[in-house]
Amino acid sequence: MTNQKAILAGGCFWGMQDLFRRLEGVVSTRVGYAGGALENPTYNDIKTGKTGHAEALEVVFDPARISYHALLQFFFQMHDPTTTNRQGNDIGTQYRSSIFALDDDQAKVARDVIGQVNASGRWPSAVTTEIVSAGPFYAAEEYHQDYLEKHPGGYSCHWVRPNWVLPK
């Protein structure tokens, strides 16, 4: 089976990358910017919140080892999908919760998983994560890539909630 991609946004991309890279079946990760109008944005562009981009994570995964559904379950376990335009100390549209679907199948799986998350009662309010068609993904600057490996103990607002498994 050929590797597939997922593009997700859920707050600061450093923390997301640090957790997703550890999943069995994840081949590679890259932080960057998605969902905006400006071509080739930089961090200085998107930090203003005016470009429409979100800090995002591109995940390349082996679907024979981990499904897109399982990736999304993990996504909803490691960030708070009920806060609009905010994760931890990070506030603004660039920190929104988004699933950038690469095709109709990914959008369907995303809708199904959001329904499961909402029905589970794991969060005190409804999921605000948007599902949008993926446009271009722009890799972030090199100093952002693998940031928490380069700077152990650096800021992250992401953690894995224990005993948090949804039905498949």
Q: At what angle do helices 13-20 and 68-78 cross, to 10 degrees?
A: 130
* Three-point CA angle 91, 96, 99, nearest 5°: 165
Tell me the sheet residues that pair with 87: 90
Q: Report the distance separating Cα 84 and Cα 62, nearest Å.
A: 31
Q: Virtual CA dihedral for 166, 92, 7, 35, nearest 10 degrees?
A: 140
DSSP state, 114? Answer: H
Q: Which two tokens stand for residue 19?
A: 């957790």
Q: Report the distance separating Cα 8 and Cα 71, nearest Å.
A: 10
Task: Tally Cβ neighbours within 10 Å of residue 99.
Answer: 28
Active site residues: 12
- What is the separation of C-alpha 69 from the centre of its chain, rounded to a whole number of angstroms? 13
